[in-house]
Amino acid sequence: MPENESPSLSLPERDPMYEREKEKYERPIVSREFILQYLQGLGRPASLEDLIEDLGVVEDDQEALRRRLRAMERDGQLLRNRRGAYGIAEAMELIRGSVIAHPDGFGFLSRDDGGKDLFLSPREMRKVFHGDLILGRVIGEDRRGRLEGAVVRVLEHALTQVVGRFHADEGSRYVIPEDRRINQEFVVTSSGELAPVHGQIVVLQIDTYPDGRNLPEGHIVEILGEHMAPGMEVEIAVRSYGLPFQWPEAVEREAAEIAPEVPEAMKEGRRDLRALPLVTIDGADAKDFDDAVYAEAREGGGFRLFVAIADVASYVQPGSALDQEARRRGNSVYFPGRVIPMLPEALSNGLCSLNPHVDRLCMVCEMEFDAAGECQQFRFARGVMRSQRRFTYDEVAQLLSGEHSPEGDDVALLPHLQTLHDLYRSLAKAREERGTIEFDSQESRMIYNDQGRIDSIVPLQRNVAHRIIEECMLAANVCAAQYFRIHQFPMLYRVHPEPNADKIEDLRRFLGELGVPLRLPMRPRSVDLAQIIEATRERPDANLIQTIILRSLSQAYYTVDTSLHFGLAYPAYTHFTSPIRRYPDLLVHRGIQELLDAAAAGRAPRLPVLSELKELGQHCSMTERRADEASREAVQWLKCEFMLDKVGTEYTGIITGVTGFGLFVALREVYVEGLVHISTLGSDYYHFDAKHYRIVGERSGEIFQLGEEIRVRLVQVNLDERKIEFERVLAEGQSNGERKRRRR
């Protein structure tokens, strides 16, 4: 027993967290804090018997102590050594974190404490999978000076299933995962009544995990079908990234009880907006409409804007099966031709969707702007509305430009659209003065044929209607953030941190070498970067400049801190406008409802638990990244499939990435990206210049730089690895080095 502990004291007198444990359990058990305090005082690992004796744990509570110790092991607080004794992980210099796997076999340990990642060699990666929560330790430095780690223990496995290609070779049966981050084969122990055929895509349930010596094993639970079957790319991505896609029975029961129309009783006590000419404006293929808008001109050149959002929170109650599943999913996931929704269709496309000419419950944000586009005041209210029209972006753009003349009901709605357009111009001007960063990005969409294959890939054109809706949604989101700050009500905010100082220093040096006339401060504001983008928009290297600026920015995420949104130049920002497809928006609606209810009842609002909000912020940030990665994986698969029959074709492209092994090139004609390996650039020794984002020929001085145009030929498509390879094409009569001399 530690010297500072007295055996004569009872547990309530010794355990600093006894009262908390007493509130949680009928029989209070030894707290985590007390166990750690005991081990710290002891100065060495302790056996279970020592813990029982020294902590005075009676026989009836010993099983509860064992469960607590196992939980502390799982959470990385304790580690049990080979003798079975428990020690403090930190005292053993163990590091808790998640595994980040690389397709080439190595990986990294991303530390929970925010420290520098540890490099994990391919040998260490044979013990773990991408996403595993582990304890590791530093074992030295590799040849590149990186801290190298070793896996000590897996605390939590990220995978329970894998999807991959079934192989049956000479009596052995195994599955090679489709997820390129998993570099191990899985031995198939059984397939039950299923009879997979060599080459088919299957789902394997993991039974045993790798330990560095033995391969993982599992049994087949589902056969998805042939590798090249239409839609297979989405099935693979959904399962590889662990996306929830099946509704639990409890969710289906609750969804089946949802009435197709809004009950009259739910309309009572709400602000009646049914006389307002609210309209929805979305893409032509949209099926869920969660926002409607209306604007009117005010005296003095100002505007009043109504943004009505589907009142999902009135149907999805906290703790219900619908709520738990929506929380688990975090957001809807969009694939080409398919959506994995956050809410069942009865809500997302039915009762919560602001379909035209039917009553719908909504949460409305009413805002008043002056002629300069500055919001003077706002208020939130529960409402009942009736959309007058379901517009597409193209329809609105054509009506506003005069390309199409209004017909029928659109004659009366056109003046309201024109008012929205006038308001947009004021808001856009305010955005420009605020310094929002806007990139000239180009999105694309896939056109399918009758067989479900890609017929073409075309650019996705943004028009004025897209921008009108975007500005209206931004305004409502900002008001929601201000509403919570005014009432000091804890909520999830959308935060985009300031750029990393090292990245800004690299950017400053690079822009200086390019001769950009505007000087970037050491700690730039968003307006500083916006001014550089605008000042260089007509330069030949504008793509290069925008790409490097974009890469210097941080990633946005959800958190309880009311911090800056750097890219949008807002002091605080949240997500209010998409509760059908984002769980943070649903939380925001619940917060607004609580504030409205508290004000109406004359009571203090019930504040959410801060620690739970923080966990939800981390979870929703994760599900957002997971959805993006899964969508990208499916899109890349489809693009590879689209290019399979085009080997040998020449294209013009833009260099979008420069690495030590070659150039990444995005084709202008078909919006597909691939690699030009450094060995195919020409008969010279080429060297990677990381500081200037370029590759330079040793003898010829030839330069290949980010953002430049290059002519390439498609030489190989590897569907399994989602890779497209090009080679450089020299112009007729052109020799190596001529490209650089011409530029000079």
Q: Are residues 622 and 711 in the same domain?
A: no
Q: What is the CATH number of the domain that holds 694?
A: 2.40.50.140
- For residue 693, what pLDDT is reported? 82
Name the DSSP class of 464: H
- For residue 40, what pLDDT is reported? 76
- For residue 39, what pLDDT is reported? 81
User: 11 or 567: which carries more pLDDT confidence?
Assistant: 567
Rg (CA), the chain: 30
Q: Are residues 133 and 187 in the same domain?
A: no
131-166: pLDDT as tens digits = 898 888 888 887 778 889 989 888 889 899 999 999
Specify if 533 maps to a domain: no
- For residue 561, what pLDDT is reported? 86
Number of domains in the chain: 5
Asked whether the beta carbons of 38 and 46 are under 8 A apart, the reply is yes
Specify if 291 maps to a domain: yes
- For residue 732, what pLDDT is reported? 62
User: 33 or 621: which carries more pLDDT confidence?
Assistant: 621
Mean pLDDT for the stretch of residues 201-209: 95
Q: Are residues 121 and 215 in the same domain?
A: no
d(CA 452, CA 530): 41
Q: Are residues 211 and 265 in the same domain?
A: no
pLDDT at 1 over 80: no
pLDDT at 724 over 90: yes
Specify if 4 maps to a domain: no
pLDDT at 6 over 90: no
Q: Are residues 366 and 475 in the same domain?
A: yes
* Average pLDDT of the chain, as a whole number: 88
Q: How large a percentage of the chain has pLDDT more than 70?
A: 95
251-274: pLDDT as tens digits = 999 999 988 899 999 999 999 999
* The residue type at 63: E
Specify if 564 maps to a domain: no
- For residue 327, what pLDDT is reported? 97
The residue among 88, 104, 137 that closes a domain is 88
pLDDT at 636 over 80: yes
Cα→Cα distances 687→243, 427, 509, 690, 706, Å:
41, 47, 20, 9, 14
Domain that holds residue 698: 647-743
Q: Are residues 266 and 354 in the same domain?
A: yes
Angle between helix axes 464-487 and 410-434 (nearest 10 degrees) is: 60
Task: Work out the pLDDT band at 305, boundaries 50, 70, 90.
Answer: very high
Q: What is the CATH number of the domain that holds 64?
A: 1.10.10.10
Q: Which of 92-106, 168-182, 467-481, 535-549 has the highest mean pLDDT?
A: 467-481
Q: Are residues 71 and 148 in the same domain?
A: no
Mean pLDDT for the stretch of residues 626-649: 92
E strand map for 302-374: 303-310, 333-335, 338-340, 359-369
What is the sign, positive or negative, of the torsion defined by CA atoms of 452, 455, 457, 461?
negative
Q: What is the CATH number of the domain that holds 177?
A: 2.40.50.700
Q: Are residues 191 and 290 in the same domain?
A: no
Specify if 195 maps to a domain: yes
576-604: pLDDT as tens digits = 999 999 999 999 999 999 999 999 999 99
Specify if 242 maps to a domain: no
Q: Are strands 673-677 and 723-728 parallel, antiparallel or unpaired?
A: parallel
| φ/ψ (deg, to 5) at 426 | -65, -45
- For residue 13, what pLDDT is reported? 60
d(CA 547, CA 505): 16
Q: Which of 17-21, 131-135, 367-371, 514-518 has the highest mean pLDDT?
A: 367-371
Task: Work out the pLDDT band at 744, boundaries 50, 70, 90.
Answer: very low
- For residue 312, what pLDDT is reported? 96
Specify if 211 maps to a domain: yes
- For residue 733, what pLDDT is reported? 54
Task: Work out the pLDDT band at 734, boundaries 50, 70, 90.
Answer: low
d(CA 81, CA 677): 48
Specify if 698 maps to a domain: yes
- For residue 670, what pLDDT is reported? 85
Half-sphere exposure of 301 (CA within 13 A, CB side): 8
457-466: pLDDT as tens digits = 888 888 999 9
d(CA 150, CA 136): 5
Q: Are residues 271 and 420 in the same domain?
A: yes
Chain centroid offset of residue 734 CA:
45
User: 195 or 212: which carries more pLDDT confidence?
Assistant: 195
Strand (E) or helix (H) holding 477: helix 464-487
| φ/ψ (deg, to 5) at 208 | -130, 145
The residue among 88, 111, 139 that closes a domain is 88
List residues bridging with 387 in a β-sheet. Answer: 356
d(CA 560, CA 583): 15
Report the range of poorest mean pLDDT among 207-221, 306-320, 446-460, 707-721.
446-460
Q: Are residues 135 and 171 in the same domain?
A: no
**Burial letters 74-113, b for 16+ CB under 10 A, else e:** eebbbbbeeeebbbbbbeeebbbbbbebeeeebbbbebee
What is the pTM assigned to this prediction? Answer: 0.84
pLDDT at 103 over 80: yes
pLDDT at 483 over 70: yes
Q: Are residues 652 and 686 in the same domain?
A: yes
Q: Are residues 213 and 272 in the same domain?
A: no
Q: Is 382 helix (H, G, I), strand (E, B) or coil?
A: strand
Report the range of poorest mean pLDDT among 408-412, 515-519, 549-553.
515-519
Report the range of poorest mean pLDDT among 200-204, 692-696, 710-714.
692-696
- For residue 554, what pLDDT is reported? 87
Query: By C-alpha distance, which of 93, 156, 102, 144 is closest to 124?
Result: 102
Q: How large a percentage of the chain has pLDDT more than 90?
A: 53
The residue among 595, 627, 659 that closes a domain is 627
Name the DSSP class of 33: H
